[in-house]
Amino acid sequence: MPGVVKQNYPARIGVMTGLYSAAIMGGGGLGAMASPWVARTLGGDAHVDWHAGLAMWAVLATVALLSWLSMRQRQEKPAAVAAPRQDLSWLRCFGNRRAWLLAVCFGLINGGYTSLVAWLPHFYAQRGWTAQEGGSVLALMTAAQVVAALAMPALARSRGRDLRPWLVLTLVAQLAGFCALLFELPVPAVAVAVVLGFGLGGAFALCMVLALDHLPDPAQAGALAGFMQGVGFMIAALAPFVTGWVREHTGGFTMAWAYLAAVVAVLLPLMLRFDPRRYAAAMSGLFDARAAQRPGALPALDGARTGKV
């Protein structure tokens, strides 16, 4: 999908990537809300039918598959069949330090989200909140994520190509939210959820734009973004287990929030390394440097052409 966005909307990458990111987060929130409702509705008063609550998503997956197949059939056939691209394997990213830096940063950022989804309702349950009240806070955080994912890439792109100030802003918001939970500051839970949602949603969408900006060729940029997402989401999937392990061995959430705040603190200096003037140098040798720039692709940035960062 990131490659499709860069190929078809080169002048609106920020807006379209924000829409794509917001759809991911909104879909996750929809799943969290709709699955239990369907399970209870179809199960009746006697039991909860989780089979139906989970299987319902196969219907939408089928609709998406048919839509993609239909789009492929409607595409115009090229006048001449291009030679197969030999430089697009995402496996090449395993040997590039910048690709790993993108993947690790993306994974650690999303680890905060997966940890909050898993543990934030339990945190408020320990403070005497009902399950519905804790779920409402999580839903509000998801809504703030969607808004931030839509707004931040477009806003950042309107100010130039350097995304570092905006990434730092979203990380500072995350740090503020985790510190509010850590020190149990007298801040309304609604405000904490909104601040965390803004930080997490904005950082997610900006990371997607960041990966696409590293390469001018849409297909190559898509392969890099695919590596970043694939490895990053596997890292993010481990975060709730780490957070839960810390909680179990310390008897509460204090050190768990401290751990997540520390991760954000580590990410802050890493974000400063994404200088757009060094993208070309960081990507040197990753894919075929001689690949022609595709029509509509963003021009390559000036900078060093050799070496790795």
Determine the Cα–Cα distance for residues 295 and 78; give it in Å rounded to an integer: 14
pTM for this prediction:
0.82
Whether residue 140 lies inside any domain: the answer is yes
Determine the Cα–Cα distance for residues 27 and 178; give it in Å rounded to an integer: 24
pLDDT tens sequence across 214-245: 998 888 999 999 999 999 999 999 999 999 99
Determine the Cα–Cα distance for residues 117 and 197; give it in Å rounded to an integer: 11
The Cβ-side half-sphere exposure at 284, using a 13 Å CA radius, reads 12
All residues at 6 or more sequence positions from 281 whose CB lies less than 8 Å from its CB, including other chains:
303, 304, 305, 306, 307, 308, 309
Q: Please, what sign has the CA dihedral across residues 296, 297, 302, 304?
A: negative
**What pLDDT score does 130 carry?**
82
Determine the Cα–Cα distance for residues 259 and 49; give it in Å rounded to an integer: 36
Q: What are the Cα distances from residue 4, in Å, to 65, 94, 194, 210?
A: 16, 22, 31, 15
Whether residue 113 lies inside any domain: the answer is yes
pLDDT > 90: percent of the chain: 52
pLDDT tens sequence across 19-38: 888 888 888 777 777 787 78
Question: In which band, very low, low, confident or very high, does the pLDDT at 1 lie, cut at 50, 70 and 90?
Answer: confident
CATH of the domain at 181: 1.20.1250.20
pLDDT tens sequence across 70-117: 887 776 555 444 555 556 778 889 999 999 999 999 999 999 999 998
Whether residue 5 lies inside any domain: the answer is no
pLDDT > 80? residue 292: no
Task: Identify the domain containing residue 261 by its residue range.
Answer: 95-282
Q: Are the C-beta atoms of 104 and 94 separated by less than 8 Å?
A: no
Whether residue 144 lies inside any domain: the answer is yes
Taking residues 164-185, what's their average pLDDT? 96
Amino acid at 218: P
- What domain count does the chain have? 1
**What pLDDT score does 302 carry?**
36
Q: Are the C-beta atoms of 197 and 29 separated by less than 8 Å?
A: no
